[in-house]
């Protein structure tokens, strides 16, 4: 059986123990190592080459975001599931920019961890439902208070389709194949929708999609 | 905590200065008055002396003229023979005699014995002359003519000469007296000069004392002031350092409590939640009542977890350590937008990275304070946080559209605290606001050179 190999990185033994039990309860997942800070996580990931690293954000010596950046740069096949206490978009966006695929809140980690790991392995994004809620609330409140118009309404159906696929982590080539379009056309749609929504990077597109509840 | 109340300069000394200055002024004033009065007096005396001389001279010459006229009249009388003219001539002589008497009487009241002697001598000679004339006048005209020449030669001319002598003497005496008066004036003047010199010497001496005393006093005061200024600056500096240390200590304390809450309490709760979740999954419908209790337990643990997390964040925003200042400011803006009616926008793209922690926390607290003030007091609907990087400094600006205030009059502890932090980093804080026009807090901070702090 082809099990997904997992590295746990958290500076708290109790949390690591809890997470290990959750992961080990899944037949398709196995914990291959535990790191207690960011630096150790980077080193162990280099040795073990795990499929997924479950990474806490707040860690001593090297925080989870920086460790994620380094791991993703060194090991493109290793996905990162970020664990955090915060549902704030500052964290989410930075985690995404560093290369994390999934973002889980610690207080709901137990329920969603296995799903998040599986989504990450499949190259898909995953967020704790609470994160999506917070992001959406912030977004709606801002629209309401500033009287700005929801730029999502400006998108064509095709652009919305492509937005969702980009947010799910698909490349332009994959999208082109999926929608039976040329890569060039997909790129054009993509550029246009990002311009309309004032988004500058794929992580921002993902964040936007989470915020709008397009993906979760 | 500082030196005891500084002693004020001694009151006695002040009184002494006052006294000496007063004395000096009185001396100068007194001698001035003295001189003026003396000069006036001298002038009066001089005038009196001159007037007396003029008066006497006039009286004397009047007398002299009267006597001359009398003599002439006598000579004419003696020389003429017509009997019919006798009566008139006699009458004229009588009149002249009266005139001379009155002239004598008119002579200014006699001053001393010498003058009296001179005058009496003259009067005596005149009466002698008159007695002689009376004898002559009693003779008949023919006899008069015969005796005339001898009479004139023997009696009249010598008497006239004598009178002339006496009046000359009187005149000389008068001249002497003027000179005498002048000499008196000279002596008085010399006295005045001596007195004045004495007074001036005293005034100069006490003035010198006063000046020296004042100078010594001023030097002492100056030294004291300098010492006090140095003390003041030193204690101000100490105070600033103390307040900076307090701020530092507070931050350190907050950070350690926050860590403690986050690491110990938070992580234990997190682990608890994971365990409860696993337990709940393991039960999977076997014991619904136990599962309900577990769910209840879970929600309590979740709430506690949230509370602990919020407390820890309030004490020390972990994003400051995890994500840096820009992210922390953005988070802060969103937090306030969530909690309050005020929408905060944050422009933090140009926040310099790798700022020393001291800067991060100070700027964070500054923005926090400014935003909290806006929420609490201004009723603002919107606030904007902008961080700009300049060549050698950075500017942090927090502006709101609230009801504003008068920054001169209402200077709360919040602004003081912000000022303290900014000053500690060598920057300046500006608070601009007008009632009804919102408020802007601007801090300009020098960017530290790399490797320092």
Report pLDDT for B149: 73
In this complex, do B266 and A85 lie within 8 Å of one another by their Cβ atoms? yes
- Indicate which CATH number applies to the domain containing B119: 1.20.120.1730
CA dist., res. A159 & res. B94, Å (int) = 161
Domain ranges within chain A, ordered by starting residue:
4-132, 149-211
CA dist., res. B144 & res. B115, Å (int) = 37
CA dist., res. B271 & res. B280, Å (int) = 14
Q: Is residue B229 part of a domain?
A: no
Q: What mean pLDDT is reported for chain A?
A: 88
When CB atoms are compared, the residue of A12, A137, A141 closest to B263 is: A12
Q: Is residue B298 part of a domain?
A: no
When CB atoms are compared, the residue of B321, B323, B343 closest to A142 is: B343
List CB contacts (< 8 A) between A64 and chain B.
322
Same domain, B212 and B78: yes
List CB contacts (< 8 A) between B335 and chain A.
88
Report pLDDT for B452: 47
When CB atoms are compared, the residue of B274, B302, B327 closest to A90 is: B327
Buried b (16+ CB within 10 A) or exposed e, B110-133: eeeeebeebbebbbebbeebbebb
Q: Is residue B327 part of a domain?
A: yes
Which residue, of B217, B247, B280, is where some domain finishes? B217
**Six-digit token pair at A181?**
């379009």
CA geometry: angle B415, B418, B422, nearest 5 deg: 135
- A78, A46 in Cβ contact below 8 A? no
List CB contacts (< 8 A) between A88 and chain B.
319, 331, 334-335
- B439, B400 in Cβ contact below 8 A? yes
Structural domain of B385: 317-446
Q: Is residue B277 part of a domain?
A: no
Q: Is residue B278 part of a domain?
A: no
Residue B194 Rama label (left phi>0; alpha psi -120 to 50; beta): alpha
Which residues of chain A have a Cβ shorter than 8 Å from any chain B Cβ?
11-12, 14-15, 17-19, 21-22, 25, 57-58, 63-65, 85-86, 88-91, 94, 106-107, 109-111, 137-138, 141-142, 145-146
When CB atoms are compared, the residue of A22, A63, A138 closest to B322 is: A63
In this complex, do B343 and A145 lie within 8 Å of one another by their Cβ atoms? yes
CA geometry: angle A8, A96, B349, nearest 5 deg: 130
- Indicate which CATH number applies to the domain containing B342: 3.30.565.10
List CB contacts (< 8 A) between B268 and chain A.
14
A151/chain B closest Cα distance in angstroms: 18
Q: How many CB atoms neighbour CB A38 within 10 A?
A: 26
In this complex, do A107 and B330 lie within 8 Å of one another by their Cβ atoms? no
- What does the radius of gyration of chain A's CA atoms come to, in whole angstroms? 18
Q: Cα A102 vs. chain centroid, distance in angstroms?
A: 3
List CB contacts (< 8 A) between A22 and chain B.
274, 277-278
**Six-digit token pair at B296?**
């209840």
pLDDT tens for residues A33-89?
Answer: 999 999 999 999 999 999 999 999 888 788 899 999 999 999 999 999 999 888 888
CA dist., res. A178 & res. A167, Å (int) = 15
In this complex, do A85 and B262 lie within 8 Å of one another by their Cβ atoms? yes
Half-sphere exposure of B240 (CA within 13 A, CB side): 14
Question: If DSSP codes are grouped into helix, strand and coil, which group holds residue B393?
Answer: strand
The size of chain A, in residues, is 216
ipTM exceeds 0.85? no
Question: If DSSP codes are grouped into helix, strand and coil, which group holds residue B439?
Answer: strand
**Six-digit token pair at B69?**
């006229």
Which residue, of B217, B242, B257, is where some domain finishes? B217
Same domain, B157 and B20: yes
When CB atoms are compared, the residue of B305, B330, B335 closest to A107 is: B305
- B173, B180 in Cβ contact below 8 A? no
Report how far apart the first and last C-alpha atoms of chain B are (Å, whole number).
30
Size of interface A-B (CB pairs under 8 A): 95
**Six-digit token pair at B152?**
């004139």
DSSP B90-138: HHHHHHHHHHHHHHHHHSPPP-SHHHHHHHHHHHHHHHHHHHHHHHHHH
Q: Is residue B113 part of a domain?
A: yes
- A88, B334 in Cβ contact below 8 A? yes
pLDDT tens for residues B360-399?
Answer: 888 999 999 899 888 888 888 899 999 988 888 899 999 9
**Is the pLDDT assigned to residue A164 strictly greater than 70?**
yes
Give contacts of B 254-283 with A, CB under 8 A. 262-263, 266-268, 270-271, 273-275, 277-278, 281
Q: Is residue B152 part of a domain?
A: yes
Per-residue pLDDT of chain B (453 residues; tens, 9 = 90+): 444 555 555 677 778 888 888 888 888 888 888 889 888 988 888 888 888 888 888 888 888 788 888 877 777 777 766 666 677 777 887 888 888 888 888 777 766 777 788 778 888 887 877 777 777 777 777 777 777 677 777 777 777 788 778 778 878 888 887 888 888 888 888 888 888 888 888 888 888 888 888 898 889 999 999 999 999 999 988 888 888 888 888 888 888 888 888 778 888 888 888 888 888 888 877 788 888 888 899 889 888 988 888 888 888 887 888 788 888 898 899 889 988 889 999 998 888 877 888 888 889 999 998 998 888 888 888 999 999 888 888 999 999 998 887 776 666 667 888 888 888 888 999 988 888 888 899 999 998 776 444
A67/chain B closest Cα distance in angstroms: 11
Question: pTM of the full predicted structure?
Answer: 0.60
In this complex, do A15 and B275 lie within 8 Å of one another by their Cβ atoms? no
Average pLDDT over residues A211-216: 78
CA geometry: angle B380, B383, B384, nearest 5 deg: 165
DSSP B211-261: HHHHHHHHHHHHHHHHHHHHHHHHHHHHHHHHHHHHHHHHHHHHHHHHHHI
Q: Is residue B255 part of a domain?
A: no
In this complex, do B270 and A18 lie within 8 Å of one another by their Cβ atoms? yes
Range A149-211 has CATH code 1.10.10.10: yes
Q: Which among B86, B53, B92 has a CA at the least distance from the CA of B72?
A: B92
**Class of the domain covering A4-132:** alpha beta
When CB atoms are compared, the residue of B274, B306, B334 closest to A138 is: B334
Whole-number Cα distances in Å, B263 to A14, B312, B320 = 11, 10, 16
Which residue, of B169, B191, B217, is where some domain finishes? B217
Any idea which residue has 């350690």 for tokens?
B256
List CB contacts (< 8 A) between B319 and chain A.
86, 88, 90-91
User: In chain A, which ranges are continuous DSSP H helix?
Assistant: 13-24, 38-48, 64-74, 89-98, 109-121, 129-146, 157-167, 172-179, 183-197, 202-211
List CB contacts (< 8 A) between A12 and chain B.
263, 267, 270-271
Report pLDDT for B42: 85
A142/chain B closest Cα distance in angstroms: 7
- Domain count for chain B: 2
């Amino acid at each position: 059986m082809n099990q997904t190999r997992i590295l746990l990185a958290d500076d708290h033994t109790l949390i690591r123990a809890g997470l290990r039990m959750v992961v080990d309860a899944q037949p398709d997942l196995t914990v291959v190592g535990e790191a207690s800070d960011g630096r150790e996580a980077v080193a162990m990931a280099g040795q073990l080459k795990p499929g997924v690293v479950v990474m806490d954000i707040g860690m001593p010596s090297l925080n989870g975001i920086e460790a994620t950046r380094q791991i993703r740069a060194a090991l493109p096949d290793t996905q990162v599931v970020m664990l955090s206490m915060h549902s704030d978009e500052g964290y989410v966006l930075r985690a995404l920019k560093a290369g994390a695929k999934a973002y889980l809140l610690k207080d709901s980690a137990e329920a969603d961890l296995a799903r998040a790991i599986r989504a990450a392995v499949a190259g898909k994004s995953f967020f704790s439902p609470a994160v999506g809620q917070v992001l959406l609330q912030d977004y709606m409140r801002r629209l309401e208070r500033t009287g700005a118009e929801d730029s999502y309404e400006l998108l064509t159906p095709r652009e919305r389709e492509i937005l969702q696929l980009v947010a799910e982590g698909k490349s332009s080539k994959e999208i082109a194949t999926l929608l039976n379009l040329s890569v060039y056309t997909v790129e054009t749609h993509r550029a246009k929708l990002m311009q309309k929504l004032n988004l500058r990077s794929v992580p921002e597109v993902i964040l936007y999609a989470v915020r709008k509840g397009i993906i979760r | 905590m500082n030196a005891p109340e500084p002693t004020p300069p001694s009151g006695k000394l002040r009184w002494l200065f006052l006294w000496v200055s007063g004395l000096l002024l009185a001396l100068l004033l007194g001698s001035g008055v003295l001189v003026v009065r003396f000069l006036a007096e001298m002038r009066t005396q001089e005038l009196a002396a001159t007037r007396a001389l003029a008066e006497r001279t006039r009286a004397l010459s009047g007398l002299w003229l009267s006597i001359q006229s009398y003599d002439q009249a006598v000579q004419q009388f003696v020389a003429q023979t017509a009997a019919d003219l006798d009566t008139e001539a006699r009458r004229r002589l009588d009149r002249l005699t009266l005139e001379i008497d009155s002239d004598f009487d008119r002579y200014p009241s006699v001053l001393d014995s010498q003058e009296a002697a001179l005058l009496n001598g003259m009067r005596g000679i005149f009466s002698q002359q008159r007695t002689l004339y009376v004898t002559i006048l009693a003779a008949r005209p023919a006899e008069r003519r015969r005796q005339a020449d001898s009479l004139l030669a023997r009696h009249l001319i010598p008497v006239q000469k004598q009178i002339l002598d006496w009046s000359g003497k009187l005149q000389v005496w008068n001249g002497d007296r003027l000179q005498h008066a002048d000499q008196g004036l000279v002596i008085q003047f010399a006295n005045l000069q001596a007195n004045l010199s004495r007074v001036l010497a005293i005034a100069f001496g006490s003035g010198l004392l006063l000046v020296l005393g004042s100078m010594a006093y001023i030097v002492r005061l100056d030294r004291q002031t300098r010492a006090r200024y140095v003390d003041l600056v030193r204690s101000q500096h100490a105070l600033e350092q103390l307040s900076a240390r307090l701020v530092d200590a507070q931050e350190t304390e907050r950070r350690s409590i926050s860590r403690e809450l986050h690491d110990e309490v938070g992580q234990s709760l997190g682990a608890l939640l994971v365990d409860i979740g696993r337990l709940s999954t393991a039960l999977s419908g076997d014991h619904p009542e136990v599962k309900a209790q577990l769910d209840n337990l879970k929600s309590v643990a979740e709430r506690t977890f949230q509370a602990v997390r919020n407390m820890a964040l309030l004490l020390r925003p972990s994003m400051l350590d995890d994500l840096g200042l820009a992210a922390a400011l953005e988070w802060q803006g969103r937090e306030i937008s969530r909690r309050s009616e005020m929408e905060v926008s944050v422009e933090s793209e140009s926040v310099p990275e790798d700022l020393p922690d001291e800067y991060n926390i100070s700027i964070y607290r500054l923005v926090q304070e400014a935003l909290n003030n806006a929420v609490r007091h201004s009723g603002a609907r919107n606030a904007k946080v902008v961080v700009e990087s300049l060549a050698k400094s950075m500017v942090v600006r927090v502006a709101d559209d609230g009801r504003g205030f008068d920054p001169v009059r209402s200077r709360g502890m919040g602004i003081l605290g912000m000022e303290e932090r900014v000053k500690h980093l060598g920057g300046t804080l500006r608070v601009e606001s007008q009632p009804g026009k919102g408020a802007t807090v601007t801090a300009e901070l020098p960017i530290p050179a790399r490797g320092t702090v």
